């Protein structure tokens, strides 16, 4: 179990080597994206939500940008009723994981 986990992390870290987002684990994000998917959609797909066009797309955003945006909502530097509430509940690790997940969608189509 432990070995497999380490191998998975190593593989993912390799895939993300180009990014500077520290320690984000896209695998760990998979349990967290359900909080985001309803509004931000599935990366690489267009959702059928009519409102989706004014929800920024996360897939393909630079991980560092995603972390920065989430931190800004949490800090109150940026404010939006929903995102402020959501970001407040995220730890730094959650943000890094989510950023790694969404950022890794880059090649998949924007």
Q: Which is nearer to ligand HEC, 28 or 98 (CB)?
A: 98
For the chain, the residue count is 110
Q: Which is nearer to ligand HEC, 9 or 39 (CB)?
A: 39
- Smallest distance, Å, CB 53 to ligand HEC? 11
Which residues lie near ligand HEC (CB under 6 A)?
35-36, 38-40, 55-56, 58, 66, 69-70, 78, 80, 82-83, 86, 98
- A 10 A CB-CB count for 101 gives 26
Residue 107 CA, chain-centre distance (Å), reads 15
């Amino acid at each position: 179990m432990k070995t497999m986990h380490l191998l998975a992390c190593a593989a993912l870290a390799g895939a993300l080597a180009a990014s500077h987002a520290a320690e984000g684990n896209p695998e760990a994000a998979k349990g967290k994206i359900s909080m985001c998917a309803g509004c931000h959609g599935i990366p690489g797909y267009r959702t059928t939500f009519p409102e989706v066009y004014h929800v920024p797309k996360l897939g393909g955003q630079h991980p560092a940008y995603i972390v920065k945006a989430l931190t800004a909502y949490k800090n109150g530097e940026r404010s939006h009723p929903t995102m402020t509430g959501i970001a407040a509940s995220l730890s730094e690790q959650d943000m890094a994981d989510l950023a790694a997940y969404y950022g890794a969608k880059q090649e998949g189509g924007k």
